Structure 1
């Protein structure tokens, strides 16, 4: 009988050798991706953010109604959840009950109540309001709708004006996430320029830039935003207010990242590869961009990801207190501004649904930041 153990062991050793060879010959970004894939929570958070981004990007298609469309027959209406069975039997197609209006015997206020004897079936890719997808693609089909054009489906209920909470939340998701992305990009470019110059030049240039950075950091944010909000002309369109808000968040969000870039550059500016590039006649911009920044790019990306929650929370908080975006523009902060009364907590708690998106986005960015930090660290256990 032939002993196959040596062959099995040699095959296993060869497989391990090939695996190690592939690992050590991979690029830095490939290694980071391999480590990041092991962080299951970060992968789940990334999928969640990707889904949220898709919902916001294609809000005109996902949302059955416009962000200002009103349903006067269903004001402060409760969420309507599609069902398959009721007291009249079951159906293979989801449906909701029709709505009838009755008068409250005590307050004499007109209230909407479901009619269990009337079924309205839900259809996917249903024809509805005509709108422009992404602002320039005309469409009249939506992800879901009702087969009765006179009836309306409100998955997450309506507000005090009869506007659909689900549709407004989809539009708000795009606004809040885009402000976070654009604000971080603006602050990143400023931090890269200012921190790069300070870290590479050093000396008097570094001292001057650091004093300016300290001045920007100690500016009280709330009074500053109050003054800027008051200075915004009332005749400005929602688009102008949106870009102004994004620019303000970006202009005052760069000091922390700039200091981190500056400290990293100061620590490596006298390394051999930097000195060699300088002696070879390379210009400062090329030395910083081609040699110094790539040596800690992974850490910059981690800082950028962690900066997103702060941008989103800043916009949400400012819009919540009335210093940010203004209606009819919708964002998470604008939607939550309507849910700050005791009456809402008692009678219309579904208006707090946008808060779930805020918490989910912030937690997802934080988890992804932790995953990238572990993946970018060559001494972590994930490596």
Structure 2
């Protein structure tokens, strides 16, 4: 009986105080407030992009006649007589100067705002037919939260649809680039010798060219009149082709070190195959670096797509991306008179900042040695 009691005590002794690795990582992440803020911002951005058809009041290519360069619509709760209204509303805007696109609110005509309004048809989650939008002005009114462009298209709507292109390019590009880099770098680092020399020389040749100019050269070699889906895939391919060598070199160095560790040598002595040693013992020890490096590298891919689209070599009109939306701001008059056209640039800046904050937080949580060395250097 006494033995049973002691066994019960011994069995339960370690449970209350045991902490898993994921719990330790989460504790460290919570200490990094900027990283948490960056993560929340990215969740919101990707969420808005994913549900763009539902959140946006219009389709991305809808042109409202007579509303070119319409300023952002102000939402009101008080009318011209200072009376409070529970339901918000917007005034109709009249074009008073056709040359300089000056609009003035018509205080005699107002349209209430409603949630879950019927509008243009779309497929929710690409599967379910629907015509319900999150919000909208009562017909025949319009609401332009961020104004319109030169074609009378809602900037807020195009911002959401453009986010779907610009943000997904970063994730897909990183996935392809890091997969290629991990494969080539892993093979070079594990086998060494002639294989290592050959693969690393190829990587160094690609890295010898300036990245941005190589990006432009590769895109210029391809036809411009291509479908949007094809252009999207080409951009992902080009960005991945430029990005994998640097990652492969780092993975190679990690494999060179890890293959000589005791756990790798023990697995090899026990008869483990090369594939098993790589997949079960070496590769998992590189995952913390891969996660951090991928998070910090996404902004470069977003900037690459935006630069190509800005220069007219990426996503083409009428499909929206943050880059081709910014191309409208190349005209000085447009930039001065209609500053809301610069909104995509602000969101590019916020996205890059959020990824950097999150990447720093993940680095501190997943790579404690890097955190301690950085604290020693700064201290």
Q: TM-score, normalised by structure 2?
A: 0.89
SS at match of 1:79: coil
User: By how many angstroms is 1:329 displaced?
Assistant: 2.1
> Does the Cα contact within 8 Å between 2:69 and 2:101 map onto a contact in 1?
no
Q: Which residue of 2 aligns with 1:96?
A: 90
Q: Which residue of 2 aligns with 1:46?
A: 39
User: By how many angstroms is 1:111 displaced?
Assistant: 4.9
Distance 1:71 1:245, change over 3 A: same
SS at match of 2:330: coil
Gaps of 5+ in 2: 1-12
Cα distance in 2, alignment partners of residues 18 and 86 from structure 1: 66
Distance 1:193 1:116, change over 3 A: same
User: By how many angstroms is 1:377 displaced?
Assistant: 2.6
Q: Which residue of 2 aligns with 1:69?
A: 62
1:270-302 superposed Cα distances (whole Å, 9 cap, x missing partner): 111101111222221221111012123212110
Structure 2 residue corresponding to 1:59, chosen from 21, 42, 52: 52
User: By how many angstroms is 1:268 displaced?
Assistant: 1.8
Is 1:184–2:177 an aligned residue pair? no
Cα distance in 2, alignment partners of residues 263 and 101 from structure 1: 64
User: By how many angstroms is 1:260 displaced?
Assistant: 1.1
Count of aligned pairs = 359
Cα distance in 2, alignment partners of residues 221 and 257 from structure 1: 14
Structure 2 residue corresponding to 1:143, chosen from 129, 134, 142: 134
Cα distance in 1, alignment partners of residues 14 and 78 from structure 2: 58
Q: Which residue of 2 aligns with 1:133?
A: 124
1:122-175 superposed Cα distances (whole Å, 9 cap, x missing partner): 111111111223333221111110122x22110100011101000000001111
1:162-311 alignment runs, 5 A limit: 162-311=152-301
User: By how many angstroms is 1:250 displaced?
Assistant: 1.4
Indicate the larger mover: 31-40 or 58-67. Answer: 31-40
Cα distance in 2, alignment partners of residues 354 and 219 from structure 1: 29
Cα distance in 1, alignment partners of residues 366 and 293 from structure 2: 11
Q: TM-score, normalised by structure 1?
A: 0.89
Distance 1:112 1:72, change over 3 A: farther
SS at match of 1:338: helix
Q: Which residue of 1 aligns with 2:6?
A: none
Distance 1:347 1:206, change over 3 A: same
Distance 1:284 1:351, change over 3 A: same
SS at match of 1:21: coil
Structure 1 residue corresponding to 2:364, chosen from 364, 374, 380: 374
User: By how many angstroms is 1:378 displaced?
Assistant: 3.1
Gaps of 5+ in 1: 1-16
User: By how many angstroms is 1:20 displaced?
Assistant: 8.9
> Does the Cα contact within 8 Å between 2:224 and 2:313 map onto a contact in 1?
no
Structure 2 residue corresponding to 1:30, chosen from 23, 29, 43: 23
User: By how many angstroms is 1:234 displaced?
Assistant: 4.2
